[in-house]
Amino acid sequence: MMGTEASGVSATESGRHRLTVVMAQLAALVLAAVVFPAFGPTPYVIKLMTEVLIYALWAMSLDILIGYTGLVSFGHAAYFGLGAYGTGLLIVKFQLSLLPALLGGVAIAAAFSLLVGIIIVRLSGIAFALLTLAVSMVAYTVVWQWTTLTGGDDGLSVSRPPLNLGVASFAMKSDVSIYYLVLLLFVVCAFLLWRFTQSPTGTALAAVRDNAVRAGAIGYNVARLKLTSFLVAGSFAGVSGSLYIILRSFASPDLLHWSASGHILIMTIVGGTGTLFGPVIGAAMMVLVEDKLSAWTEYWMLPFGLLFVLVVGFLPGGLAQLVRKRAGRR
Amino acid sequence: MHYDATFWISQILNGLQASVLLMLITIGLTIIFGILLIVNFAHGAFYMIGAYLAVTIIARVESFWAGLILAPIVVAIGGALMERFVVRPMRGRPVVQTLLLTFGIALILNDSTRAIWGPFPFSVSPPEWLQGTVTLFGFQYPAYRLFILIFGSAVAALVIALLEYTTVGTVVRAASSDHEMVEAMGVNTSSLFLWVFALGSGLAALSGVVASPLLTVNPGMGTDVIIDAFVILVLGGLGSLRGTVLAALLVGQIQTLGAVYLAQYASVLVFLLMGIVLLVRPRGLLNLGRLDDGH
Amino acid sequence: MSSVQLLRGEGLCRYFGGIKAVENVDIEIQKGQFHSIVGPNGAGKTTLFNMLARQLDVTSGTLWFKGQAITNVPGHQLPGLGIARTFQKTSLFASLTIRENIRLAVQAKRLPVLPLIRKADGYPDITARTQAIVEQMRLDTIADSLVSETSHGDHRLTEIAVALGSEPEILLLDEPMAGMSATEAALTVGMLKDLKRAISIVLIEHDMDAVLELSDHVTVMDLGRIIAAGAPEAVQNDPAVRRAYLGTD
């Protein structure tokens, strides 16, 4: 569909060299992210960076669906929101500590995406997109209206639970502690997602994306592959949602609204689908631009809307395509 | 809860009136899909812009009718421009990409509208002689709602008659099921598409103008309505005019009556219906629509 | 020559509403056989082909593969059983390389359960088998090019290469030489001759020269029914066949 790269085996010499360069660059980025708090940024900036990581993970999960499987979802916010509310409710109702609450929230998001996925993967194209929209709006309405459970419009406030690791317990009250937790999980999840895309399942998804009929004809169970992709995407969206509520200590139903789905869609597509790192760029851009511009104007989204239209119309590989051109790849 | 007959009759009339407004919007959407094979996310924005333009025109000229006539025309021109410069270049690409594109346009239009008119809602008064109530079946019913019902049905009927009984209309419907054939017959499909897009957009704007005295004119009205429109599009079967009309009637009633019983959960019912139809009868409730080609 | 029955269809019918695209067809493909299905346009060849490939459900009739009934088996299970097919309209994975296209078919065959984390290129047997097919189909020079960077003729060869990735016992080829130049077609005929030694082949083709040169058995269809079947020479001279193609005796 949109900007994708040749996936699969890269056995040539230059291929290996390039890989080493990329690995080095990634290592440098991770190192920078690790030492960044040591340079004395304000708590506000630390929180902002944490948000960038959370949205970046969310955007990567959507890329699995759009870029790697060819399925456009207009309702990806639902799984983010369910992860957030799931974790939040587990903390509020059952006083779970951080890790179990996180896992619980992810499990809820995963369960929902499994349920929806089983029904939805028979469709594709517009029908699929519209159905994802409908499903997310159902989830939104339920979360919004079930005020006794979720607090409805008032939102869900949670106090940040401690991180109990058996041997030690961390209060996690400081912004820096959350930042490192999110950074760690981001790196782990990004790695897992990357490995997923390079796995037999992940490469098979490329076949489904490019030509679902042929994928079936060569022996792949296309429906099951789509379901796997949907489940993976929903679960990792759930992770980001869970981290979100832990960061912000607050969730509102808007997190599931289709306009939120629209935002993450824009981040992913503008960043460049099918690359995993493109959506990270898109997410970082959007979070940072919103932060800078929303002080001046309510209409900071306008340039993104334009950028989005331009990318869909003319630059299917998104910003990632520009980055790769500079790096000399196709 | 016990309601008397008067209550039910007025609810049903309200449902019909809601249906009529939805019908005007979705007829446009369905013929655009039928002919251009695109699902236009920006359609809701056209509805909203129609309402906002009416607000401005009425404020300037102090005539509701001026707004009613001029706003749809302006939006129709906007629609034509969009077809020419945004949609047409995307021909041949997967339909989902066009859906994404129109989604982006909708966002731009939404934000621009807010930037131009501000984030606060406007209210519009209906013309003097349409204010108040009329006596209907022995009870009082709001005059303006009745006007919507009559005027809206008339317009819808006119458009449908145009499509069903005139040569132009037949060409449009033929192009909707086989535009290569129609092209081969020498019809200029480019201008056909332009007019269809303009007509559909104008109808959406008309619905917005007509709706404006009833609802507050606010920046979220486009997005609220587009979801309903999509549901109707799917229920009616994409591209089927008959199906759309019936689906609009159904959804209008469900929303109105549903609001009585299910309050805010009424929308859940509507979405569930859409989901079921997409899965079980993708050609719509009446099995008249076309399956999307949007892989 | 052994006459082991590989793929058999009995009483196959396919109706589309009122249209009888395929009517009461019995067909049998034997092991080691090169079996062509020919007929004028609209004869029902493609419909029959798609029924054999399980891309279309039968309206009535039974399908057997090596004695096992496969009438209702989902299409994606056929490569696992030993049946592979190509498409008339080139149907490759456009954003990937030629090699990756083939590897995906080999992977589908060799990995019944697809791991989620293990690296896809960590299977030496799959890599080796992919390379073998690349060499067999003489795609070495373009194997690492993207599909979008190669020619139509290369695509048609890759079509077949991908099908070979499924290690089939029987290969269903849908007009493999469509759109090929005379040179490319001749090369393809040579390649098919090599293939037929190891794999049973079912071919739909309009190129009658190729059909007569390659086939052990020809089935002729017209208007949904079989009007002649047998050795190429016999079928060529069959009056019913002449009538169907030329309208005269």
DSSP category for residue C84: E
Write down the residue that tokens 């009927």 correspond to. Answer: B157
Pairwise CB contact (< 8 Å): A126 & B95: yes
Could you tell me the two tokens for B283? 């050609």
Q: Report, as an integer, the average pLDDT of C229-248.
A: 80
B57 forms beta bridges with none
| d(C-alpha A128, C-alpha C92), whole Å | 23
Q: Count other Cβ atoms within 10 Å, centred on residue B289.
A: 27
Residue pair C232/C212 in contact (Cβ under 8 Å)? The answer is yes
Closest C-alpha among C220, C212, C213, C217 to residue C230: C217
When the pLDDT of each residue in chain A is averaged and rounded to a whole number, the result is 89
Could you tell me the two tokens for B160? 């449908």
Q: Note the pLDDT of residue B176.
A: 62
Confidence band, pLDDT 50/70/90 cuts, at residue B285: low
C30 forms beta bridges with C5
DSSP category for residue B88: G
Q: How far is CA B291 from CA A123, A128, B287, C224, in A?
A: 11, 12, 10, 27
Half-sphere exposure of B16 toward its Cβ, with a 13 Å CA cutoff?
16
Query: By CA distance, what is A138's nearest residue in B?
Result: B268
More confident residue, C118 or B291: C118
pLDDT at A145 over 90: no
Give the list of residues 6+ apart from residue B184 with CB closer than 8 angstroms, or none.
Answer: none
- Contact of B278 with chain A, judged by CB distance below 8 Å, is answered with yes
| d(C-alpha B195, C-alpha A296), whole Å | 40
pLDDT tens digit sequence for B30-58: 888 877 778 888 999 999 999 999 999 98
Confidence band, pLDDT 50/70/90 cuts, at residue C248: very low
Residue range(s) defining the domain that contains residue A190: 37-257
DSSP track, B122-172: B--PPPGGGSSEEEETTEEEEHHHHHHHHHHHHHHHHHHHHHHHSHHHHHH
Query: By CA distance, what is A303's nearest residue in B?
Result: B108
Residues A149, A258, A178: CA angle, nearest 5 degrees:
65
| d(C-alpha B207, C-alpha B212), whole Å | 8
Q: Note the pLDDT of residue B293.
A: 44
Pairwise CB contact (< 8 Å): C99 & A198: no
Pairwise CB contact (< 8 Å): A301 & B294: no
pLDDT at A4 over 60: no
Sheet order of strands, C170-174 included: C83-85, C170-174, C200-204, C34-38, C217-222, C225-230
More confident residue, C127 or C40: C127
Residue pair A235/A103 in contact (Cβ under 8 Å)? The answer is no
| Residues of B in Cβ contact (< 8 Å) with A144 | 264
pLDDT at A328 over 70: no
Q: Is residue A198 part of a domain?
A: yes
pLDDT at C152 over 90: no
Closest C-alpha among C153, C54, C156, C59 to residue C101: C156
Residue pair C117/A199 in contact (Cβ under 8 Å)? The answer is yes
Confidence band, pLDDT 50/70/90 cuts, at residue A5: very low
Interface of C with A (CB under 8 A): 53, 55, 74-80, 84-85, 87, 91-97, 99-100, 103-105, 107-109, 111, 114-121, 127, 144, 146, 162-163, 165-166
Q: Is residue A165 part of a domain?
A: yes
Burial of C212 (0-12, 13-18, 19+ CB in 10 A): middle
Could you tell me the two tokens for C201? 């082949």
Q: Report, as an integer, the average pLDDT of A236-241.
A: 98
Nearest CA distance, A170 vs chain C (angstrom): 31
Task: Provide the phi-psi class of B37: left if phi over 0, else alpha when psi is between -120 and 50, else beta.
Answer: left
Query: By CA distance, what is A140's nearest residue in B?
Result: B268
pLDDT at C221 over 60: yes
Closest C-alpha among A250, A235, A245, A81 to residue A157: A250
Query: By CA distance, what is C102's nearest residue in A?
Result: A218
| d(C-alpha A197, C-alpha A205), whole Å | 8
pLDDT tens digit sequence for B16-33: 988 999 999 998 888 888
Pairwise CB contact (< 8 Å): C87 & A203: no
Mutate to test the interface with C, among A193, A214, A229 (most CBs of C within 10 A): A214
Write down the residue that tokens 């333009």 correspond to. Answer: B53
**Closest Cβ opposite residue A200 in set C75, C118, C127:** C118
When the pLDDT of each residue in chain C is averaged and rounded to a whole number, the result is 90
pLDDT at A213 over 90: yes
* φ, ψ at A213 (rounded to 5°): -65, -45
> What number of H helices and E strands is found in chain A?
14, 4
When the pLDDT of each residue in chain B is averaged and rounded to a whole number, the result is 83
pLDDT at A329 over 60: no
Residue count (chain C): 249
Amino acid sitting at position C40: P
| d(C-alpha C9, C-alpha C202), whole Å | 13
**Structure-derived torsion over alpha carbons of residues A176, A181, A185, A190, reported in degrees to the nearest 10:** 10
DSSP category for residue B217: B
More confident residue, A9 or A63: A63
Mutate to test the interface with A, among C77, C81, C103, C104 (most CBs of A within 10 A): C104
**Closest Cβ opposite residue B223 in set A1, A2, A259:** A259
Q: Note the pLDDT of residue B178.
A: 64
Three-class SS string for A134-175?
A: HHHHHHHHHHHHCHHHHCHHHCEECCCCCEECCCCEECCCCH
Q: Note the pLDDT of residue A299.
A: 77
pLDDT tens digit sequence for C153-173: 889 899 999 999 999 999 999
Amino acid sitting at position A69: T
Could you tell me the two tokens for A24? 């080095």
- Contact of B107 with chain A, judged by CB distance below 8 Å, is answered with yes
Nearest CA distance, A179 vs chain C (angstrom): 27
Q: Which H or E run includes C12? A: strand C5-16
Looking only at the bridges linking them, the beta strands covering C34-38 and C19-30 are unpaired
Query: By CA distance, what is A210's nearest residue in C?
Result: C93
Q: Count other Cβ atoms within 10 Å, centred on residue B256.
A: 20
| d(C-alpha C200, C-alpha B291), whole Å | 38
Burial of B224 (0-12, 13-18, 19+ CB in 10 A): middle
Could you tell me the two tokens for B81? 């421009």
Could you tell me the two tokens for A190? 């990004």
Could you tell me the two tokens for A120? 């939805």
| d(C-alpha C210, C-alpha C177), whole Å | 9
| Residues of B in Cβ contact (< 8 Å) with A134 | 231, 271-272, 274-275, 278
| Residues of C in Cβ contact (< 8 Å) with A211 | 91-94
Looking only at the bridges linking them, the beta strands covering C34-38 and C200-204 are parallel
Helix axes A258-271, A318-327, angle to 10 degrees: 20
| d(C-alpha C26, C-alpha C51), whole Å | 12
Could you tell me the two tokens for B133? 């109530």
Q: Is the ipTM of this complex over 0.85?
A: yes
Q: Of the segments A201-210, B143-152, B171-180, B283-292, which one has the largest average pLDDT value?
A: A201-210
Instruction: Work out how many CB contacts closer than 8 A connect A with C.
Output: 127
Q: For C1-82+168-249, which CATH superfamily applies?
A: P-loop containing nucleotide triphosphate hydrolases (3.40.50.300)
Could you tell me the two tokens for C15? 């109706």
Closest C-alpha among B57, A205, A73 to residue C100: A205
Q: Report, as an integer, the average pLDDT of A161-166.
A: 84
Burial C100-114 (b: 16+ CB within 10 A, else e): bbbbbbbbbbbbeeb
Q: Note the pLDDT of residue A139.
A: 92
Could you tell me the two tokens for C27? 């067909």
The mean-pLDDT minimum among B36-40, B277-281, C53-57, C170-174 falls in B277-281
| d(C-alpha C176, C-alpha C89), whole Å | 9
Residue pair C99/C123 in contact (Cβ under 8 Å)? The answer is no
pLDDT tens digit sequence for B95-148: 788 888 998 898 889 888 988 888 888 888 888 888 888 887 777 888 888 888
| d(C-alpha B192, C-alpha A98), whole Å | 60
Could you tell me the two tokens for A160? 């940040």
Number of domains in chain A: 1
A21-28 contacts at long range (C-beta below 8 A, 24 or more positions apart): none
Confidence band, pLDDT 50/70/90 cuts, at residue B294: very low
Closest C-alpha among C101, C94, C102 to residue C148: C94
Reduced to 3 states (helix: H, G, I; strand: E, B; else coil), residue B271 is: helix
Mutate to test the interface with B, among A71, A74, A126, A286 (most CBs of B within 10 A): A126
Q: Note the pLDDT of residue B286.
A: 64
Nearest CA distance, C239 vs chain A (angstrom): 37
> How far, in whole angstroms, is CA A55 from its chain's centroid?
6
Q: Where are the alpha helices (DSSP H) in C28-123?
A: 45-52, 78-81, 98-110
Percent residues over pLDDT 90 in chain A = 55
More confident residue, B89 or A255: A255
pLDDT tens digit sequence for B191-226: 888 888 999 999 999 999 999 988 888 888 888 788
Confidence band, pLDDT 50/70/90 cuts, at residue B241: confident
| Residues of C in Cβ contact (< 8 Å) with A228 | 116
Closest C-alpha among C38, C198, C174, C33 to residue A214: C174
* φ, ψ at C8 (rounded to 5°): -135, 140
| Residues of C in Cβ contact (< 8 Å) with A219 | 76-80, 105, 108-109, 166
| Domain spans, chain C | 1-82+168-249, 92-166
Mutate to test the interface with A, among B113, B271, B272 (most CBs of A within 10 A): B271
Percent residues over pLDDT 70 in chain A = 95
**Closest Cβ opposite residue C85 in set A11, A217, A228:** A217
